[in-house]
Amino acid sequence: MKHPLRLGVLGSGKGSNFRAIMEQINDGRLDAEVRIVISDVENAGILSLARDFQIPGLYVRPGRFRAKLEPEIEEDVVRLLREASVELVILAGFMRIVKEPVLRAFPGGIINIHPSLLPKFPGLEAWKQALAAGETVTGCTVHYVDAGVDTGKILARKTVPILRDDTPERLHARIQKAEHELLPAVLAEIAARFRGLR
């Protein structure tokens, strides 16, 4: 039996990209199923959204590091993803760098959405970086995740204009709109390819 592509979503924030994925799934435009949502932030919006969509949402302790999870906690994340039979891991606003345990468990099976036109402006608050650099165009990128910071193979990008007098907030909101189109579209392509392979 061919099944929808099984996704696991990791996020630390409000979860608007997760919501965009769910809306496309529920509209029948994305042949996928979110099996689990995992967050390192106990009161993150993404976890309450998961409850709204009746998807298992789990909090994992962030541990003592700022930019990554502790290895044992990452092993827990791997276990949770495996128990949920996840085939593709989506980092949707996950504010930690994933390390060996997750990378090893899902080789070529982790993608991230980043708010700039990579390879420009990797790292934090990329929209602020673009604004400060005086760019006139920025955007968002969906890419595979490797051991670097926002360095994996690029799958797709979408441009967003930077307007005169833009504020960081307005620019980020415009980029997020583009993210909500780009990420589900890339997932739909991957899901269609998976379906052909299974």
- Catalytic residue ranges: 114
Our CB check for ligand GRF shows the closer of 88 and 113 to be 113
Q: Cα-Cα-Cα-Cα dihedral of 17, 186, 126, 148, to 10°?
A: 110
**Distance between CA atoms of residues 45 and 27, nearest Å:** 22
Measured from each CB, the residue nearest to ligand GRF is 93
Which residues, 6+ apart, have CB-to-CB distance to 19 below 8 Å? 49, 180
Q: Backbone phi, then psi, for 8, in 5-degree steps?
A: -120, 130
| Interacting residues toward ligand GRF by CB under 6 A | 11, 13-17, 46, 92-93, 113-115, 176, 179
Q: Which pair of structure tokens corresponds to residue 64?
A: 């003592």
Our CB check for ligand GRF shows the closer of 92 and 190 to be 92
